[in-house]
Structure 1
């Protein structure tokens, strides 16, 4: 009974997380013609403040949360580097293409994580994982719609790279857990790393913002914080194998918000890509659940 209650709670938290990230995407687009690196600065500053505050509170009772083994630092830096790549790619795409398309390409990250785990975690993917990777990549082409019109395809490539960065980052997070590195320390370090990368660009290429744009970007940061908070609580209450597929509701939320506030409607090719990618995710999810029950 307790397990079922935790599962329902996990699903509610991951839906909350998906909505938070969808709100973030909408706010990034509504912020208007501001450099995408400047937009990421707001998101990362809020994330750093929350993670650092939580880390300090934990450190008062347990100093071990600040400990990072020497061998783990390289993975911490790599996680921060590819995570920054993921955020920059996603934020650029959100400002230049349909936000549900950008969300869909970003949600390819679990499949990139499987590919990266071969080299980082020395895990051998099964036939189902390999085939699913190939199918998902073909589905992404429907969303990207490769062509010689670089003005249209360039943002999609950035979104694709953003999903790749997020997938690699999650793989390095799993590696860091093997070294017992505190999750709040990982988030705080990554956020600070991204801030330091963005600061020089913002310093030299700062674009003045109106009060409404500042408020919208603060909304993006709060949405991202809610997304991160919801994700953490979701996986605390239930195993990833049973709830991760619900994270794809982010695409649905992004589509609804994009239609209401931006008048965006995905085209037939994008919808076909959604069906292929989400359908594959559901199949892998069901397959993994069956394996766990045996």
Structure 2
């Protein structure tokens, strides 16, 4: 017969493994999305945001259409048919997702990608507010400290005050702020839509809906691009789908209030991509911002594990028989 202490240790170990896995999937999802947003910057003749979004949904629909027969995400037994409310929730998520993509692409066409991703970091604070206000998830002052550190780091990286102030740049910063709000809403809607049903077929329907909505605007705003550039933009679709799979895996393993701060890693990934491909070298202030963002993620992880250990140790042991 196993001792109560052994059971407690095993329980804590399982919680820690689940938390680590959830964090890892959240970071993976963030990395894939950051790469997706970066792809339009690689084109010789940048496509407009609507055209880029259209090709993203083409790529997403193609990859999901190929995966649908494989049934990688099994359909829940208790919910074989989507309710009308769930369908509208998925379509609303798709609409917000399109807005996130187009505003982000517009912003990245006017200001450095790392600055855009730094502003997008504020979506983590909004996710936290949604989780508390709507889903009643518990939040401690440690979460507030985490958000404060990450947002401070993001402001240092973006540096909108000392950046060249003109309408061209200000429009980019404004679009990034709107994209951040849309992203937070999309993540929250995605999390709640997943409670109803999230299958390959559901995701395919969402992508086809996005494709349908953007067909006419994409046609009238189309710019001639090379085949290589078109394929690069179409590759945004598989990256977005992979990011959604990773986000689903993260939300199944850890609470939204835990995984959300780790989405601030998008600034680090964006900075690395900017250095490698666009020669956008961060200065000392930006590096300080990166350090704060990393510190915020480490802080909330350490506090989560410490709280888990305290909770397990505070549980009175069962009497051995």
- Common fold by TM > 0.5: yes
Query: How many matched pairs?
Result: 292
RMSD after superposition: 3.7
- Decide which of 267, 271, 284 is 1:255's aligned counterpart: 271
Whether 1:202 aligns to 2:218 is: yes
Q: 1 CA distance for matches of 2:24 and 2:130?
A: 29
Aligned position for 2:181: 164
Q: 2 CA distance for matches of 1:132 and 1:60?
A: 33
- Decide which of 47, 50, 71 is 1:37's aligned counterpart: 50
- Decide which of 191, 198, 209 is 1:174's aligned counterpart: 191
Aligned position for 1:67: 81
- Decide which of 27, 37, 49 is 1:25's aligned counterpart: 37
Q: Secondary structure of the equivalent of 2:267?
A: helix
CA distances 1:23-75 after superposition (whole Å, capped 9, x unpaired): 32332111233111111112222223333444454399859666222333443
Aligned position for 2:108: 94
Q: Secondary structure of the equivalent of 1:151?
A: helix
Question: Larger helix proportion, structure 1 or 2?
Answer: 1
CA distances 1:2-37 after superposition (whole Å, capped 9, x unpaired): 958887776766665454334323321112331111
> How many angstroms does 1:162 deviate by?
1.8
Residues 259-274 of structure 1: pairs in structure 2 closer than 5 A: 259-274=275-290
1:84 and 1:165 in contact (8 A); partners too: no
Whether 1:145 aligns to 2:157 is: no
Q: 2 CA distance for matches of 1:113 and 1:271?
A: 25
Please give the TM-score of this superposition, normalised by the length of structure 2: 0.73
Aligned position for 2:254: 239
- Greater displacement, 141-150 / 261-270: 141-150
> How many angstroms does 1:263 deviate by?
0.7
CA distances 1:160-218 after superposition (whole Å, capped 9, x unpaired): 3222212111212222234x222535533432333233222212121111122113213
Please give the TM-score of this superposition, normalised by the length of structure 1: 0.78
1:102 and 1:159 in contact (8 A); partners too: yes
